[in-house]
Structure formats: structure tokens, C-alpha cells
């Protein structure tokens, strides 16, 4: 299944990274790390590693974690997010 909103999140983080390259190294690195986390989330989802996916998401920084949860809710539904990730989306 194509995760449209999760892919958009990844692309937006890349755009933010590029925007800060050469301007603010720390911000550029932060966005790169967040994007790498989203890529890891996609990898674990596609492999069906739901236990490690949930643990990985729980350990992410707050802002990218919220983006991932909301993207999954948009792509797979709020019930899926609650059942598999343990987050209630309102």
C-alpha cells in the first residue's frame, strides 16, 4: 500500500533540510535526522514489523512523531493508528 501522507511528510522534511543547508547547519541536520526517522518508519511498516514500528515511533522526537501519527491516520485510518500504534487521533 502506498502511504501518500507519510511520503509527503518525508518530502517536506527533505525540502526543509535543503532550505537550511548552508544557512543553519544544526537545523539542516535536525530535518535530515527527522526525515531519516520517517524513512525508517516506512521501512518497518512495509516489512510488517509492527512491534518495532510502535517502539520506534514512541521514541521519536515529538514533532516528527506527531507528523507520522497524523500521516498514518490519514493514510490508514484512526482505528488502525489506535490498534497498531496506541495513539488516539481526534
pTM as predicted: 0.93
Annotated domain spans of the chain: 4-85
Q: How far is CA 25 from CA 28, 53, 64, 78, 80, in A?
A: 5, 29, 19, 36, 37
Instruction: Count helices and strands (H / E) in the chain.
Output: 5, 0
Nearest-angstrom CA–CA distance, 7 and 68? 10
Predicted confidence at residue 41, as pLDDT, reads: 98
For 39-60, write each residue's pLDDT tens digit. Answer: 999 999 999 999 999 999 999 9
Q: What is the mean pLDDT of residues 30-45?
A: 97
Amino acid at each position: 500500500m502506498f502511504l501518500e501522507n507519510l511520503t509527503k511528510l518525508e518530502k517536506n522534511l527533505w525540502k526543509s533540510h535543503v532550505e537550511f543547508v548552508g544557512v543553519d547547519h544544526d537545523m539542516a541536520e535536525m530535518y535530515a535526522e527527522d526525515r531519516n526517522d520517517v524513512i525508517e518508519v516506512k521501512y518497518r511498516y512495509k516489512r510488517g514489523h509492527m512491534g518495532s514500528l510502535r517502539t520506534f515511533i514512541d521514541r521519536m522526537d515529538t514533532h516528527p512523531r506527531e507528523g507520522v501519527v497524523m500521516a498514518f491516520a490519514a493514510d490508514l485510518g484512526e482505528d488502525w493508528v489506535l490498534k497498531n500504534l496506541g495513539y488516539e487521533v481526534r
